[in-house]
Amino acid sequence: MMRIIIALLSGALFGGGLAISGMADPMRVRAFLDLFGAWDPTLAFVMGGAMIPMALAWMVQRRVGRPFADRAFALPDTRAIDGKLTLGAIVFGIGWGIGGLCPGPAIASLALSPAAAAPFVLAMLGGMAIHHFTIKS
């Protein structure tokens, strides 16, 4: 139960941060990617702001043996920079540019602009399902 509450709190804080920062507005996100249009640097401030608590958190993580509410850290340990990583990132960037939405803002927008966000989120889950059933991990 404790873990569920922590995850819900983290998700809500994350979603609130997305809403405050303007990242729930696809046109603002796309304006960051629009170097030859009316470029909007807001996204860089969001990323910069998010780096501060997380850089501190990684310093703490290296000094503690286990997380507060679980037995052990379960963190990605893959080091290979392979075709899946590079191709996946490039493909994701294409969709991000077209829609101005990445997964976090899209899901958060389900509560803010449900009619507009739902088609994207459903298609995104469809894309995840296609990956799940076609690509071996």
Partner 1 sequence: MIAGFPDAQPIAGLIGGLMIGLAAAIMLLGLGRIAGVSGLAARAIGLSASGPPHGVAIAFTVGLPVGAVLVALLSDGIPATFPAPGLLIVAGLIVGFGTRLGSGCTSGHGVCGLSRLSRRSIVATALFMGSGFATVALMRLTGMI
Enumerate residues 41-70 that contact partner 1 by CB under 8 A.
Answer: 41-58, 60-61, 64, 66-70
Least Å from the CB of residue 37 to partner 1: 6
Enumerate residues 3-42 that contact partner 1 by CB under 8 A.
Answer: 3-28, 30-31, 33-42
Enumerate residues 86-115 that contact partner 1 by CB under 8 A.
Answer: 86-104, 106-113
Rounded CA separation 56/60 (Å): 6
Least Å from the CB of residue 64 to partner 1: 7
Alpha helices in the chain (DSSP H): 2-21, 26-33, 42-63, 83-99, 103-108, 114-134
CB neighbours (10 Å) of residue 93? Answer: 12
CB neighbours (10 Å) of residue 83? Answer: 8
Least Å from the CB of residue 48 to partner 1: 6
